[in-house]
Amino acid sequence: MSESSKAVKEPLNRSQKNVFWLLFISISLLNLYGNYIESKSLIIYSKPYIIPFIAIYFSTSWQEKSENSIIYKSMMIGFFFAWLGDLYMMFSGDENIMIIALVCFLICHLLYIVALFFSSVKGNYKWLLFVTLPLVIGGAMLGHQIGGGDKFMVVPVMLYSIVISVMFSFTAIRMFTKKSIWGALTCFGGLLFICSDVMIGFKNFQGVTIPETYIMLTYIFAQVCITRGMLFEGENK
């Protein structure tokens, strides 16, 4: 199969794609700037649109096949819970709302795990011992360190850390098994998710001063990298 036949075919024409990306980049930059100057209004009017744009890009670019439909559905539902998590995170000053946001992101990551499992891990179980297990142990230890000062949150934070470690390990397995730029891009997205969530953890539970701009920058790139990397599964083979 030639390299050209492996490319993801976009149903949008060039001008439509240019408009789409212009809008997405504009909204993302507006949100980053809003976080930089700490403008509540800019954040509120930009953040809710980031994930919907990514979901639209994924949906309009995906060429669904029956054997890959579970990947598509898992990703799309995952986007929905990521969007809910984004909305709740705008009011993270309330601990109860913070927990709801964590649950939404937890479900999102679990759905990404399902998509990644059927993409790369199914049938490659030997990688679980050498990649997933060490990362899960490390994630649990990091989660305990981040949430250890809050007896109420330490268990949820550890659980969240374990789940995102599993997700990252699955992106790493995907990179090793796919041996393509799309596998590497997915893994890079998983790593950025780790960075974003670690910053959120230290900021909210350890009182470390971390600019929200850094958190959102890594989060946006993480979602884009995983989304674009997973589109490889929707190609015509």
Q: 40: burial class by Cβ within 10 Å (0-12, 13-18, 19+)? A: exposed
pLDDT of residue 9: 47
Average pLDDT, rounded, for the chain: 86
User: Is residue 7 a part of any domain in this protein?
Assistant: no
User: Is residue 142 a part of any domain in this protein?
Assistant: yes
User: Is residue 182 a part of any domain in this protein?
Assistant: yes
Count CB neighbours of 2 within 10 A.
6
Tens digits of residue pLDDT in 133-175 = 999 999 999 988 887 767 777 888 889 999 999 999 999 999 9
Tens digits of residue pLDDT in 194-219 = 999 999 888 877 888 899 999 999 99
User: Is residue 37 a part of any domain in this protein?
Assistant: yes
Tens digits of residue pLDDT in 174-189 = 998 888 898 899 999 9
d(CA 70, CA 125) in angstroms, rounded, equals 19
User: Is residue 96 a part of any domain in this protein?
Assistant: yes
Phi and psi, residue 130, nearest 5°: -90, -20
Tens digits of residue pLDDT in 49-76 = 999 999 998 888 887 654 458 888 999 9
Q: Give the DSSP letter of residue 66.
A: G
pTM above 0.85, yes or no: yes
Q: How many domains does the chain have?
A: 1
User: Is residue 22 a part of any domain in this protein?
Assistant: yes
d(CA 201, CA 99) in angstroms, rounded, equals 12
User: Is residue 18 a part of any domain in this protein?
Assistant: yes
pLDDT of residue 183: 87
Percent of the chain with pLDDT over 70: 89
User: Is residue 8 a part of any domain in this protein?
Assistant: no
Tens digits of residue pLDDT in 71-107 = 889 999 999 999 999 998 887 667 778 888 889 999 9
Domain span including residue 161: 13-234
